[in-house]
Amino acid sequence: MAREQRKDVDYFPHDCTHGRKMHIIEQKYGNDGYATWFKLLEQLGKANNHYIDISDEMTFFFLVSTFRISEEMTRNILNDLSKMGAIDKYLFENHKVIWSQKFTESVTDAYRKRKNKIYQYSDVLKEIGVDLCQSSAGLPEVIHKEDAKAPEVIPKEKKSKEEKSKEEEILKSNFDNSKNIEYAHVQKTESPTWIQTTAMQFEISPEVIPKKLDEFVLYLGNIEKKHPNKKDFLTHFNNWLKNNIHANPTTNHDRKQNTGPGYKPAEVDTGELVRELTEDVENGNIPGVYTG
C-alpha cells in the first residue's frame, strides 16, 4: 500500500527584515501582534494544504489557545491581516478560511521531490465548494499557466472609500515610538533613585516624574523624534521637563509637600544618589543640556 503523500511542511522561511504590514501589526498590537503572525504561519505550515478553516469553532478556539491571546484580539488581528492582504481577503471574509498566497509561494520548494503538487488558490476554492465560474460576491478571476508556481489573480478590484478609510485607520501611527516607550518604562520601573534625584533637582513630587515621562513619550511621538540610546533620551527629557515646568505653572502644585496623616517622606540612598550623579557627569549626561 502506497504511503500517503504529505500535504504539510516542517519549516518555512523567516526573513530577518519585515515589510510594512508586519510593522503595522506590531505597532498596533505590540509583541502579541508579532507573535500571532508567526504562530499563524506555523499553523499554516502544519495544516493540510496550507489553509485553515475557522468556520469550525473548535479550529478557531484551538488557534486562540495557540496564540495565547483573547478571542477578540485574535479576530481583530485576523481582520487587519485580511484588509492588508497578508491573508486572502475573499476567502477570509466570505468563507472564514485563512490562506496566504505569499506563504504558499515561500514553501513551494518543499514539494519539488513530492509526487503531489502544492495547493493553489483554485484548489482551495474547489475544496471548500466554491464554483470557479462564479462571478459574483467578489470572487476574483484566476488564470493558470502550466508552469506557474502560483495563480495569477486579475483584475484587482478598485478599493471602495470604506475600504480605503479602514486601511488608513490601520496605517495611523506609523512612527515607531517603541524605543522611547521602552526607555521610559525602564526609568519608571527600575530606577527609583533616578526618579528621586530628578524630583529633587526640579523641586517637584517624585510621583510626578512617571506622568511626565508618559507626556514626554507622547511629545516625541508627535514630533517623530527617535533617540539612539537611553542617555540621549534622558538628557532630552531633562531639558524638556525644565521647559515644561516653566511653561506650565500648574505643575508647581505638585511641589507642595504632603503633610497629611500617614505621610512618610521617601527614603533616599545618598550613597547611591552620589554614585549616579557622578556617573551621569562622567558620561556627559548633564541635566538641562540637550544638543540632539
Amino acid letter, 4? E
Residue 74 has pLDDT above 90, yes or no: yes
pLDDT at 166: 52
Cβ–Cβ < 8 Å for 83, 74: no
Q: How many CB atoms lie within 10 A of CB 148?
A: 10
pLDDT at 51: 92
pLDDT at 271: 62
How far apart (Å, rounded) are the C-alpha atoms in residues 260 and 124? 70
Q: How many CB atoms lie within 10 A of CB 97?
A: 21
Q: Which of 135-139, 157-161, 218-222 has the lowest mean pLDDT?
A: 135-139
Cβ–Cβ < 8 Å for 103, 44: yes
| DSSP string computed for 4-42 | PPP-S-S-----SS--HHHHHHHHHHTHHHHHHHHHHHH
Average pLDDT of the chain to the nearest whole number: 75
pLDDT at 291: 47
Above pLDDT 70, what percent of the chain?
62
Angstrom CA distances, 7 to 45, 60, 64, 104, stand at 9, 21, 23, 12
How far apart (Å, rounded) are the C-alpha atoms in residues 232 and 237? 9
C-alpha cell at 221: 511621538
Which position has the higher pLDDT, 101 or 146?
A: 101
Provide the whole-model pTM.
0.45
pLDDT at 160: 58
Which position has the higher pLDDT, 177 or 238?
A: 238
pLDDT at 3: 53
Residue 136 has pLDDT above 50, yes or no: no
Q: Which range has highest mean pLDDT (155-159, 160-164, 236-240, 246-250)? A: 236-240
pLDDT at 252: 44
